[in-house]
Structure 1
Amino acid sequence: MRDPAMSHEDAAVTGKIGIVAGGGAVPGQLIATLRDRGHSFFVIGLDGQVQAETLEGTPHLRVRLGAVGTALDALRREGVRRLIFAGSVRRPSLAELRPDWTATRLIARMGPKIFMAGDDALLSAVVKALEGEGFTVERADALLDGLLAEAGYLGQHRANAGAEADITRGVAILRALGPLDVGQAVVVQQGLCLGIEAVEGTDALLARVGPLRREGGGGVLVKLRKPNQEERIDLPTIGVATVEAAAKAGLAGIAVDAGGAWIVDRAAVIETADRLGVFLKGITGDTP
């Protein structure tokens, strides 16, 4: 385990990094950080997920999700043993996956019921399988300063008493749903649950709840880790688009899991929240 006292700079000095890149801005930020530090890396870009500009000018291989053998062979040729998963990945159906021989072998090892499990169980099985292949899986925030949310407010806006009560209600809902491995986010207004995140993701959740808002102000998006979350691959994440979607839905603010959520492009997120009148708060424990 990495020494908590070790700096990000110290943590990045040994071993070539393999980046498994999905969608969004996090893979590009990680690549830029490693490049600035002169650290060697190799990128596995997930076809249909990663943005083309993320891979420009980088040592990389673009593969489909089911081509596990191709990806692992490339990582081994590059001398990679440390892996970081970065970016969003849409979960495919088995038909879409089209697993190669290596993927089929790993699926058999995990058991076919893994595809009927929730995301946490699936991701935990993926990490265990990769560790069985000789790789170490690490968290992106081990190298990216400012990615992990901290407790307290970011920006100039603050929650009022009604919003604080909605945060408490949202936390209670997510804590109750967490053992079922369902969603990381909920929207609450005036004590009413307007929507729970499912497979559609947070931005789609916010678009869905906008027309459901009651008269009057308020409304909060709450995002938390689930119990037994595989934190090395999947943590709740917000970015500029999340803040914009929350404001468009008429919400007062966003509360995220301090120490357990990522804020992508923190400066831009705070600027957007300040400009749109949305509060941002990192929360700990079971209450705001």
Structure 2
Amino acid sequence: MSPESGVGRLGLIAGNGRFPFLLLDAARAHGLDVVVAAIKEETDVEMDERAALDAGVRVHWMSLGELSKLIETFRAEGVTRAVMAGQVKHKQIFSSIRPDWRLAKLLLNLRTRNTDMLLGAVAKVLGDEGIELISSTAYLEPLLATVGVMGARMPTEDERKDIEYGMTVARGIAGFDLGQTVVVAAQACVAVEAMEGTDATIARAGELFRTLGDGDATLSRALTVVKVAKPNQDMRFDVPVVGVPTIAAMKDAGATCLCVEAGRTLLFDRAAMVAAADAAGIALVGRE
């Protein structure tokens, strides 16, 4: 089903960061009214300001564990299609929520409590209630990474070798839903993403490598960051995202090259991110 098909009212389950706002803008540009389910623990309060300025946006605040309220809100608003946009911190999902009866029942029936399993189960519950969860890249295809060098600098031969090695390692860990990012130096893995997120992984790699190099700047400038989608990535949720903060984290850590999976990674916002990478001398590459 194309994003334009169906009714003209879209449900937006909003996490943190700029992703929900970019998707909101894109949906409004397509003429859709948007009903935002704003997560109290995650969504920026700016969402209320956006609604105050646009009659086509309605915001309902709810806690992360209120699955029944989410369903009731969307049904009352006539929403039959919804999209998830914005990160919900993994530690929030598994440690901070107070589930309502519907979510508690769902959690009890999960075979494993990884992110894919949980969000997939939520998507099924929504579908059973007549609310189709569509791709989180709907309306945002121009922001997907493309194949090849996306900035001014080509990767060096050493960085290319690290990319090849990093892609193999990243795809391996992504297959176990451990994380989607690895940081590599001299074809050795320096850091692997877990629940802390991409930017924190990059910072940890930079600190570790500075320690190993005893402050040697030449060593701290040899890190390559590789980020991939999961082997069977469900584009409805947890799609890889990078942006200007990623470049800032790399600059602070002394990383010189970023490789992302083309067609399955979103760049926010692309022009500013490429400009920041060029200014920092960071090679930005998309790979299939």
Q: TM-score, normalised by structure 1?
A: 0.89
What is residue 104 of structure 1 aligned with on the other side? 104
Is 1:206 the equivalent of 2:210?
no
CA drift of 1:134 comes to 1.6
What is residue 233 of structure 1 aligned with on the other side? 237
- Runs of at least 4 residues off by over 6 Å: none
Contact 2:136 2:235 in 1 (8 A): no
Is 1:280 the equivalent of 2:288?
no
Render the CA deviation track for 1:13-33: whole Å, top value 9, x for unaligned. 743100000001011111122
CA drift of 1:125 comes to 2.1
Separation in 2, partners of 1:180, 1:140: 22
Contact 1:183 1:197 in 2 (8 A): yes
Contact 2:137 2:235 in 1 (8 A): no
What secondary structure sits across from 1:166 in the alignment? Answer: helix
Matched AA of 1:245: A
Moved more, 222-231 or 184-193: 222-231
1:113-262 residue pairs with structure 2 within 5 A?
Answer: 113-115=111-113, 118-213=114-209, 214=213, 215-216=218-219, 217-262=221-266
Render the CA deviation track for 1:99-153: whole Å, top value 9, x for unaligned. 1122234334xx14443xx222222222222222221111232212422111111
Matched AA of 2:125: A
What is residue 87 of structure 1 aligned with on the other side? 86
CA drift of 1:178 comes to 2.9
Separation in 2, partners of 1:229, 1:280: 22
Separation in 2, partners of 1:268, 1:174: 26
Q: Summarize the Cα distance change of 1:87–1:169 in structure 2 as closer, same or farther, 3 Å threshold.
A: same
What secondary structure sits across from 1:188 in the alignment? Answer: strand
Contact 1:12 1:143 in 2 (8 A): no
Contact 1:12 1:39 in 2 (8 A): no
Separation in 2, partners of 1:45, 1:22: 7
What secondary structure sits across from 1:244 in the alignment? Answer: helix
Moved more, 28-37 or 61-70: 28-37
Q: Which runs of 5+ in 2 are unaligned?
A: 52-57
Is 1:54 the equivalent of 2:58?
no
Matched AA of 2:269: D
Matched AA of 1:183: G
Q: Summarize the Cα distance change of 1:69–1:170 in structure 2 as closer, same or farther, 3 Å threshold.
A: same
Contact 1:238 1:262 in 2 (8 A): yes
Count of aligned pairs between the two proteins = 273
Is 1:24 the equivalent of 2:23?
no
What is residue 54 of structure 2 aligned with on the other side? none
Separation in 1, partners of 2:255, 2:124: 39
Query: Identity rate of aligned residues, in percent?
Result: 34
CA drift of 1:93 comes to 5.4
Render the CA deviation track for 1:225-259: whole Å, top value 9, x for unaligned. 11222221111110100011111111111100101
What is residue 5 of structure 1 aligned with on the other side? none
Q: Which runs of 5+ in 1 are unaligned?
A: 3-7
Matched AA of 1:60: V
Q: TM-score, normalised by structure 2?
A: 0.89
Separation in 2, partners of 1:175, 1:25: 26
Separation in 2, partners of 1:253, 1:179: 23
